[in-house]
Chain A
């Protein structure tokens, strides 16, 4: 337990009659990126709000520990350990970027000179020096998000919650944000990230939990999740119709695509599997013009898990 930055048991929350979180267990080791992935309305933001002490969990929720502190008993200790960047930019739009940074420095009780130095460093690091004197309401979406994270970092938090940090950002800003998140983790910070982008979870997260309808539908590394769904195959494409026909005879069980002159053979993508296919092609003396191996990506997993489809081989420990 000691090396878990975030540990929550049976997280529950309802608004009126609507159950938003229905018994969610979370365990995030220190210094890792954990991603909560789910469609809109799955309960991701509610989970972040509870874990960051913004709203209280329903009775019946088990123990929640953040940075070793009991969230129910000592919320102030939790607040001192965390930094939060919410879905809607938590900046004061009426004052300038620099004033926002100095406000954070004051609230973290840094001395005047220390506050100025920290603010200047972070503005520099997040490429906001030029805009520092302008009101934050005039910033672009990407700049606001960068200021938001810079403000979160003033207190040097060890655990950071990022609620959909790249939603609404253009591709360049998104990659900048990913770079920022990777740097944070290199410094030993634990990141709890929610996202609706599969690529983002795949790129960043050490572990991913798929949240659907208030429950964890599956949890594991990106690779473990990909193995949960079928869909891996080898695709062979031919230029010569005769070769295509011969190959189709040699590889019974392949799905034929007569128009494209392509064959699709179910495969787990392993070397042995590929060799078997190639051996059969050699025996039939045909040569494919193009061979591609398709492994299921997180999209397949996401749609399978959140679409209500049956999941084969679901590990027992996640089947609650």
Chain B
């Protein structure tokens, strides 16, 4: 068997194993899904009046604010899902079966690839679910063609892939599940420091460049551009560069950590 088909076959076996775990024990996935849905409802119905008045120059407009927060919350959904990835990778490494995998003639990275593909699929499912809730409470796109919807979906998948590889690395270096959850926490907190909930120009001047160029903001602005017709500018390239860069960084970090001798 060629090394590529070996890699594909072993990775899909590992993916089946991870999906089986997720299906048998859905509580972690469901718990993590609650956070973005609650935040969506909280920001729209509790903070929405005040926040939209601030953005819209004094006139509260809840439905405009729904459109504003949804792109950021979709990314937060991905951040929340990959916290689960970090925890389950960390748990998996402490399982006895990992020693067995390491002493078998299988494609080694398939253990990680299985986690990554499984987690990206879970992220996509979660994004679709949160997106459905957003549609239900009144989110509507402006002049978005099918191609733009597709591009937005592609960007979300790419973003999920990037965050997942980083989360896998965090899971691998964490000694236990609690530490893995804590280490991955910035992935769900970072959206608060972006343009997800408030515009960048409302933040202190010294902080604006940080908020402007961290990975979430360009991705959020690109999603807004695709779905709501705002200007994308250089944010599109920035977003793709961030995603590819983080995915590569996470991949090399994770595989080199995994290839080290286990404790």
Residues of A within 8 A of B (CB): 52-56, 76-77, 79-80, 82, 84, 86, 88-95, 99, 103, 106-109, 135, 151-152, 155
Contact = CB atoms under 8 A, between A and B. Distances in A.
B103 A52 contact: yes
Contacts, number: 64
A107 B20 contact: no
28 contacts: A53-B103, A54-B103, A54-B262, A55-B261, A77-B105, A80-B105, A84-B103, A86-B96, A86-B99, A90-B96, A90-B99, A90-B100, A91-B96, A91-B97, A92-B95, A94-B21, A94-B24, A95-B17, A95-B21, A95-B24, A103-B13, A103-B17, A106-B13, A107-B10, A107-B106, A109-B9, A135-B24, A155-B104
A66 to B, nearest CB: 11
B96 A88 contact: yes
B102 interface: yes
Contacts of B103: 52-54, 79, 82, 84
Nearest to A95: B20
A77 to B, nearest CB: 8
Given A77-B105, A91-B97, 16 more contacts: A52-B103, A79-B105, A84-B100, A86-B100, A90-B97, A91-B96, A93-B95, A94-B20, A95-B17, A95-B20, A103-B13, A106-B9, A107-B10, A107-B104, A107-B106, A152-B100
**Consensus secondary structure, chain B interface:** helix
Interface of B: 1, 6, 9-10, 13, 16-17, 20-21, 24-25, 95-97, 99-106, 261-262
If over half of A's interface residues share one DSSP class (helix, strand or loop), that class is named, otherwise mixed; here it is: loop
A92 B102 CA distance: 14
Closest A-B pairs by Cβ, 7 of them: A90-B100, A80-B105, A79-B105, A106-B13, A90-B96, A55-B261, A88-B96
B205 to A, nearest CB: 50
B11 to A, nearest CB: 11
A76 B102 CA distance: 10
Contacts of B102: 53-54
B96 A151 contact: no
Contacts of A108: 104
